[in-house]
Structure 1
Amino acid sequence: MISLWSGTVAFGQERDRLDDRGELLGWEGVGRLDLGAGTCTGTLIARNLVLTAAHCVVDDASGEILPKSKMRFHAGYTHGQTAASRRITKIVLAEGYQTLRNASLTQKVMTDLALLRLDREIYSTEAEPFRVHSDTVQSNKVTLVSYGRGRNASLQRESGCRHKQTYRGGLMTFDCDVTFGSSGAPVFTRIDGRLRILSVISMMSRDGSEKEAIGMTLPGVVSDMKREMRNDAARTPVSQGAKRVIVGQRSNGGARFVKPGG
């Protein structure tokens, strides 16, 4: 688990707590993902699909997916109120996340994504999904919307933080303020007046007085996970008497940041 830097906010960054329903308007698609042993942030990208970080839903010690029965997605959660709450019925991890245990930092971040299928669709009257950005980055100004330790009862919106750099392989760095519970949080860019998800927060690092929130490019990985989710739904159910091997589950563990280089 990494140590977090707690210095001053860079000039131009603004933090807003979305503490009531009026302030939350338009952001209901971002929600708190309760895991039974912790929380993360997740984002609705379709009426029944939530995007978050893979390490939120995988036990760090065993590499096994945490029990879905303990997970709940609360869209637009604020002070005990939620626009919609749903259970999780299926989890698809980015290819390689469970097998690249000794991978490079870039490989770890690029595969630190999970797609969660909800037990019921969330209606348009409750929350609207956000689209994933699939073009070049037009501006380095981004907005982070997240929950986190010490502010887990309502969303925090940080506007004016910056996309610092995209490295070869797709690793992206930002100067946004993140903490425990911010894992899986969406980083938004604005295109023609519309918000698009540019990245998802995977980890945080610091180097002296400099902090970086680290995420990944999304289009290819998210498309593959959606395809796997559709393929799974289309598969013929297992016939009576047959057995399907299911990934073992364990109740211990929870979401945490990954320590860069560790």
Structure 2
Amino acid sequence: MRQWILAGLAALLPVAAAAQDSRLQRMDSLDAGRQWEAVGRLDVNGEGFCTGALIAPDLVLTAAHCLYDSRTKERIDPATIEFLAGWRNGRASAYRSVRRAVEHPSYVYDGELSTDRVRNDIALLQLQRPIRNTTVKPFETDERPRKGGSIGVVSYAHDRSEAPSLQEVCAVMARQQGVLVMSCDVDFGSSGAPVFSFEGDVPRIVSVVSAKAEVSGERVSLGSALAEELTLLQAQLTGVATGGRLPPGVGRVKVGEGRSSSGAKFISQ
């Protein structure tokens, strides 16, 4: 997003050596980016941007910290966020404003960087209207990849904000407490970028870029957990939309309410 966390994470050691990574490929043409039109730029409050990916016609997956103002620490009004699907050189395949947004129930924005914060750094945005465009096909999701597995990332960043870039090969260097330590090349603006596994017939999202960090002097990227956490988010979003009760263990997060014993802030159900 607008501001990333750079820190030494000694707790994540040891880290396996990375495989030979591919270089970032900027996808300036429609042909080059045709398979990736469901990845888009999230313009946030007119002041910055993140990366997000469509996983259903009306749902965008991104990082939870993209929903917060880095200066005030306050949650941003979702109505000020716009998803630009396949944004490339001044044009998008679809433009949608955001109706509502939910983050992981245990995510706390004002905490220091930790495995808990990174692991829970995911959010779902529900769009005002579904995207019904044959060129913008939502991605499937899958389990987290194994350590040593080959992955890829499609992202925007501060110095490549006008077109998405694909890194087709990078590696899972370690898996620690639900956090993926990756060799993928990310920077400011890549927050929320989808991490793909290419095993099988189609690319599937297996994580979301949360932060960049240093481990033993080596620059790495950190990815959030996805499998069970995504199910919680979908249930949470359904509960917010209907006003109904949520499944046990799923809470609605809001700044300014009481803290649970885990440090998360919840609204009473």
Of 184, 188, 206, the residue aligned with 1:198 is: 206
Of 217, 221, 225, the residue aligned with 2:225 is: 217
Is 1:173 aligned to residue 181 of structure 2?
Answer: yes
Bigger CA drift: 188-197 or 133-142? 133-142
Report the TM-score, using the length of structure 2 for normalisation.
Answer: 0.80
Of 61, 69, 73, the residue aligned with 2:83 is: 73
1:59 Cα deviation from its structure 2 partner = 2.0
1:178 Cα deviation from its structure 2 partner = 0.5
Percent identity reads: 32
Structure 2 vs 1, CA of residues 102 and 12 (structure 1 numbering), >3 Å: closer, same or farther? closer
The C-alpha deviation readout for 1:98-153, integer Å capped at 9, x for no partner, is 3x744661110011111100000011414111111136538611111000011000
How many positions carry a matched residue from both structures?
234
Gaps of 5+ in 2: 8-17, 245-252, 257-269
User: What amino acid sits opposite 2:231 in the alignment?
Assistant: S
CA contact (8 A) 2:144 2:225 kept: no
User: What amino acid sits opposite 1:89 in the alignment?
Assistant: R
Q: Identify the residue that residue 142 of structure 2 maps to in structure 1.
A: 133
Is 1:47 aligned to residue 54 of structure 2?
Answer: no
Of 148, 160, 176, the residue aligned with 2:169 is: 160
Give distance in 2, aligned partners of 1:134 and 1:124: 27
User: What amino acid sits opposite 2:106 in the alignment?
Assistant: G
Q: Identify the residue that residue 106 of structure 1 maps to in structure 2.
A: 115
Q: Identify the residue that residue 104 of structure 2 maps to in structure 1.
A: 94
CA contact (8 A) 1:84 1:126 kept: no
Give distance in 2, aligned partners of 1:115 and 1:55: 12
| Partner-residue secondary structure (3-state), 1:160 | strand
1:3 Cα deviation from its structure 2 partner = 5.5
| Partner-residue secondary structure (3-state), 1:226 | helix
CA contact (8 A) 1:34 1:72 kept: yes
Give distance in 2, aligned partners of 1:10 and 1:140: 9
User: What amino acid sits opposite 2:150 in the alignment?
Assistant: K
The C-alpha deviation readout for 1:38-71, integer Å capped at 9, x for no partner, is 0100010111000111111112354432122321
CA contact (8 A) 2:145 2:172 kept: no
1:188 Cα deviation from its structure 2 partner = 0.3
CA contact (8 A) 1:64 1:247 kept: no
Report the TM-score, using the length of structure 1 for normalisation.
Answer: 0.82
Give distance in 1, aligned partners of 2:67 and 2:218: 29
Is 1:59 aligned to residue 69 of structure 2?
Answer: yes
